Structure 1
Amino acid sequence: MSVRTRNNVQVQGKGPPMVFVHGFGCDQHMWRLLAPHFAESYQVILLDLVGNGQSDLSAWNAEKYSTLQGYADDLCEVLADVTDAPAICVGHSVAAMIGMLANLKCPDQFLAQVMVGPSPCYINDGDYVGGFERADIESLLETLESNYLGWSSNMAPVIMGAPDQPALATELTNSFCRTNPEIAKHFARVTFLSDHRAELPKLQAPTLVLQCSDDIIAPRSVGDYLQRTIPNCTLHVIENVGHCPHLSSPSASTMAMEQFLAGL
């Protein structure tokens, strides 16, 4: 099977490559408000992580994807297949860490990282405030295991935020519910129990952390931590409620990205 089929790779526009990587329970459609704009100046590469969207489900393997590195390896393969030039990686939520891991494995393939609502670790640990106690995460995963559709209906509106745009919460709920439940449960455990704080200081690429002012999944403390820990990091806070500013506040997200890219 080709890499492009495996990850349902779609390419738009011409110019320096820019790859967009979606978060948990989503697919490349989540970039629809940003990708066309950047396709005017960049070669935009869209993909679905294996197990999500229109990716080839037969490629999913519980062992390979038992850590985020499995997805990072796929990202390196996609870029090698599509372009010879170093890419700007735009990753939402857990995909921000997937982008970082791919960057560390294949540094020549990346020009910069744009992390949208990232978190290297969701669990509070000493002075580090990730936003959740371990018991919170275990409870969340337990609920997800026992009633995935119910969990999706309850959690998606909380994750999306944007109370003035209820259609977005419905869209995210539907996206969660379209995902294979067994794969989603597996990916959720890998996501919420991951801890990639140790890798952050190794990332040399210029990095933009795009964060919402009120985000239940990645609180402001996480953005401040990333800015302190990643060597070449810019933090931009968008006044917005929720975890998906590329959907709920696309113009502010685009402006922050353009400002960052202009300085590369």
Structure 2
Amino acid sequence: MSVQYRNNVHIAGNGPVTIVFSHGFGCDQTMWRFVAPAYAQRYRTILFDLVGSGGSDLSAYDRKKYGSLHGYADDLLEILDAYAPGPVVFVGHSVSAMIGLLASIKAPKRFAAQVMVGPSPSFINDGDYVGGFNREDIGILLQTMEDNFAAWSEKVAPMIMGAPNRPELGTELIESFCRNDPSIAKHFARVTFLADHRADLPKSTVPALILQCSDDLIVPREVGAYMQRCMPNSILAVIDNVGHCPHLSAPSASSRVIDEFLAQTLG
């Protein structure tokens, strides 16, 4: 099976640097449509779907391999080996930010920089660590998803999206969730919401931008501050936006912050 077919890889643009965009849970590469095209005018861009999502090869979904985020990180490195001639800038939303982090630890020379949009190393509160949810909350969330995935999507997706002035984006996220194979989505959700990669944060030395929204129901502000303290070569930027998907609800503000980071990092 080719990497291109497995991950539905699409390449655009032509430039001295390659930027790779990776989507979050329940989404696909179309979620970058307000951001990626502008970068394709200056850079080479790669978009792809995580296995089990979007236009990826669903038959390639292996529950053992993807029982942790390391399986996705290995896929990412294979995509870079196949399509990226030099160090890349990796832009990952939500869970993909952690996938990029793990890949950057395994192969730091493959990365010039990483942009982490709404990242969280752990969603579960633990002592002084504020992840946003108690363990019981996560258990209820996952059980509700198991009981009725469609109903869960209709309730939760608009809350994740935020963007109170653009309800159509919440509807789009509902539809995106519901296009996924429910059995795969439920498994991926458990891997996503039960993961704990706090101990991995100091291991990543690749320059990193942590991009957060001022009001994010899924990832509270404390998470970004924690990550910035733990990651040795990182900066934190908070944009004024409600929701967990600023690349959709605040693309201009997101791009400005990313451009400033790239100018400082790439020169």
The letter of the residue matching 1:11 is I
Q: Which residue of 2 aligns with 1:256?
A: 257
Instruction: State the alpha-carbon separation in 1 of the partners of residues 147 and 108 from structure 2.
Output: 40
Q: Which residue of 1 aligns with 2:11?
A: 11
Corresponding residue SS for 2:154: helix
Runs of 4+ in 1 over 6 A off after TM superposition: none
Q: What does the per-residue CA deviation read over 1:220-241, in whole Å, with 9 as the maximum and x for residues that have no partner?
A: 0001001111001110001000
Instruction: State the alpha-carbon separation in 1 of the partners of residues 106 and 43 from structure 2.
Output: 24
Q: How do 1:142-161 residues align onto structure 2 when only pairs under 5 Å count?
A: 142-161=143-162
Q: Which residue of 2 aligns with 1:209?
A: 210
Q: What does the per-residue CA deviation read over 1:194-245, in whole Å, with 9 as the maximum and x for residues that have no partner?
A: 0000000011011000000000111000010011110011100010000000
Q: How do 1:1-264 residues align onto structure 2 when only pairs under 5 Å count?
A: 1-15=1-15, 16-264=17-265
Instruction: State the alpha-carbon separation in 2 of the partners of residues 244 and 14 from structure 1.
Output: 27
The letter of the residue matching 2:5 is T
Cα RMSD of the aligned pairs, angstroms, is: 0.5
Corresponding residue SS for 2:214: strand
| TM-score of the pair, normalised by structure 2 | 0.98
Instruction: State the alpha-carbon separation in 2 of the partners of residues 82 and 103 from structure 1.
Output: 17
Instruction: State the alpha-carbon separation in 2 of the partners of residues 103 and 201 from structure 1.
Output: 12
Segments of structure 1 that go 5 or more residues without pairing to the other structure are none
Instruction: State the alpha-carbon separation in 1 of the partners of residues 84 and 70 from structure 2.
Output: 21
Counting aligned pairs with the same residue, the percent is 62
The letter of the residue matching 2:258 is M
Corresponding residue SS for 1:115: strand
Cα deviation for residue 106 of structure 1 reads: 1.3
Cα deviation for residue 84 of structure 1 reads: 1.9
Cα deviation for residue 257 of structure 1 reads: 0.2
Instruction: State the alpha-carbon separation in 2 of the partners of residues 105 and 129 from structure 1.
Output: 27
Aligned residues: 264
Instruction: State the alpha-carbon separation in 2 of the partners of residues 25 and 137 from structure 1.
Output: 17
Cα deviation for residue 83 of structure 1 reads: 1.6
Segments of structure 2 that go 5 or more residues without pairing to the other structure are none
